[in-house]
Structure formats: structure tokens, C-alpha cells
């Protein structure tokens, strides 16, 4: 009777048994949540590492500035569109050389609000236009510039011009004396009330500010490579569910 070598058989059985034991151990870890906690801790660390990196800090600072500038433009546009600013009366107006004149509108006050609007507009436009990262913020900024260009004729009539100078494209400048001597009714039609140029700019600035804030909130959800994680990963959702 020939002898049979059973060692390989038992070796296989032992290997299978060890493999089964390992699988049962893995299953137990999944069931009791150990793997889930481990993975969530790992991904959290990756996000934290990126969020605390110099790159993330720079991104956060960029959007923080944009949010501040856009909110400033929103506020400036709101003040410029206030109907009470265009109440008629008997007002004295002071020109850039110190000479004075008369106007039926409070041109000194309107100019102050318009100058603040122009400065705020330029800050927001420069900041938003430099944001080219696929966040659509630059698109919104371009939309604001294009909307202003549509009103370039009336704006020029009151002394506000759009620059085409290299590095200053789309920004505004204001001529104090031309502005203060311009038609008050033209200013009122441009700036006052719902649907006016100023009120639409206010709305656009509000949207840009919200988008900047949204980008800031996303920074903490980027992974170590800078890729956005819009929510729980498939793996983390598996471990968040019951087995």
C-alpha cells in the first residue's frame, strides 16, 4: 500500500483556517466600528494637514480679502442708491479748486458716496479678477465688469470712466468737478432705487461675497493633494453605516 503525504493537505487546511480567522477578525473590526474610526481619523488628519498648510492659508486669505471687498462694494452701492440722497433743495457745492457754486442736489454728499463706490468697486474687481481657480468667482467678476460697461455712456456723462489701461482694465475713475457739475437727474436714474445700476451692482457684489465665503468654507474639506472632498467618501460612508 502506497503511502500518502497528508502534510500538504493539513498545511492547506491550516492556511485556510488562518485566512478565515483573519477575515472574521476583519469583519469584527468593521462591525464594531474600529476600521471606520481609523479611516475617519486618517482622512481627518489629511484634511487638517492641508488646511494648516501655507497654501491653504494663502487661499483662505485671498478669499477673505475678496469677501471683505465685495461686502464693501455692496454697502457702498446701497448707500449710493438711497433715494433720500437725491432729494432736491438749495445746496452749496464745493469744487476741487475750492471754489463754490449752487446746486439743486447735495452734490458734495453724492460725490462722497460715489467716490466711495468707485474705490470699493475697484478693490472688488481687482481681487475677484485675480481669482482664476475654477471657483466661478472670476466669472462673476467679469459679469460685473460687463454690466458696468453697458452703462459706460451714462457713467461718462457724470464723470465716471472705465479704464482700458494695462493692469487697470475694467476699473473706474471719477472726475470730481465733472461729476459735481453733471445732471442730478442722470445720477438719480443711474443710482437711485430698485433696478438701477447701483442696485444691480449691490446684488452682484452680494453674490461674489457669498461665493468667497463658500470657497473659504471648502478649504478645510480639501485633501492633502488639494482636491476637494465635497462630502463623505464612499469608504467613510460604508463605515458610518451599520453592518
Write the DSSP symbol of residue 183: -
Instruction: Find residue 92's DSSP bridge partners.
Output: 102
Contacts 24+ apart (CB under 8 A), 149-156: 151/190, 151/197, 154/186, 154/189, 154/190, 154/197, 155/190, 155/197
Do 236 and 43 meet the contact criterion of CB atoms below 8 Å apart?
yes
How far apart are the two ends of the chain, measured CA to CA in Å? 53
Q: How far apart are CA 171 and CA 123, in angstroms?
A: 9
Between the alpha carbon of residue 228 and those of residues 55, 140, 215, 222, the distances in Å are 14, 21, 10, 4
Q: What is the mean pLDDT of each run of 10 residues along the chain (243 residues)?
A: 50 52 53 57 50 78 95 98 95 96 97 98 94 78 96 97 90 98 95 94 97 85 47 41 41
Q: What per-residue confidence (pLDDT) applies to 39?
A: 54
Q: What per-residue confidence (pLDDT) applies to 60?
A: 86
Q: How far apart are CA 193 and CA 55, in angstroms?
A: 42
DSSP run (H or E) holding 133: none
Query: Would you list the domain boundaries of the chain?
Result: 50-219
Between the alpha carbon of residue 101 and those of residues 113, 199, 220, 228, the distances in Å are 19, 30, 57, 59
Q: What per-residue confidence (pLDDT) applies to 133?
A: 60
Write the DSSP symbol of residue 104: S
Do 166 and 158 meet the contact criterion of CB atoms below 8 Å apart?
no
Note the pTM of the prediction, 2 decimals: 0.71
- The cell for 120 is 470699493
The position carrying cell 457739475 is 181
Collapse the DSSP code of 148 into the 3-class scheme (helix H, G, I; strand E, B; otherwise coil) and give the result: helix
Amino acid at each position: 500500500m502506497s503511502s500518502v503525504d497528508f502534510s500538504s493537505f493539513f498545511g492547506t487546511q491550516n492556511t485556510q483556517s488562518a485566512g478565515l480567522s483573519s477575515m472574521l477578525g476583519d469583519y469584527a473590526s468593521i462591525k464594531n466600528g474600529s476600521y471606520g474610526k481609523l479611516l475617519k481619523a486618517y482622512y481627518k488628519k489629511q484634511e487638517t494637514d492641508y488646511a494648516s498648510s501655507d497654501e491653504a492659508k494663502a487661499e483662505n486669505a485671498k478669499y477673505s480679502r475678496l469677501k471683505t471687498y465685495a461686502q464693501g462694494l455692496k454697502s457702498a452701492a446701497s448707500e449710493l442708491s438711497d433715494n433720500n440722497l437725491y432729494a432736491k433743495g438749495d445746496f452749496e457745492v464745493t469744487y476741487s479748486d475750492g471754489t463754490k457754486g449752487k446746486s439743486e442736489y447735495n452734490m458734495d454728499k453724492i460725490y462722497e458716496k460715489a467716490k466711495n463706490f468707485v474705490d470699493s468697486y475697484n478693490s472688488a474687481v481687482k481681487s475677484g479678477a485675480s481669482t482664476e481657480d475654477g471657483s466661478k468667482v472670476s466669472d462673476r467678476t467679469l459679469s460685473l465688469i460687463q454690466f458696468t460697461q453697458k452703462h459706460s455712456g451714462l457713467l461718462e456723462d457724470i464723470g465716471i470712466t472705465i479704464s482700458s489701461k494695462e493692469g487697470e482694465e475694467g476699473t473706474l475713475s471719477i472726475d470730481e468737478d465733472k461729476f459735481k457739475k453733471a445732471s442730478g437727474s442722470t445720477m438719480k436714474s443711474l443710482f437711485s432705487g430698485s433696478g438701477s445700476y447701483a442696485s444691480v451692482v449691490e446684488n452682484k457684489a452680494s453674490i461674489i461675497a457669498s461665493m468667497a465665503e463658500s470657497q473659504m468654507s471648502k478649504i478645510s474639506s480639501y485633501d492633502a493633494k488639494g482636491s476637494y472632498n465635497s462630502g463623505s467618501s464612499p469608504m467613510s460612508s460604508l463605515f458610518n453605516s451599520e453592518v
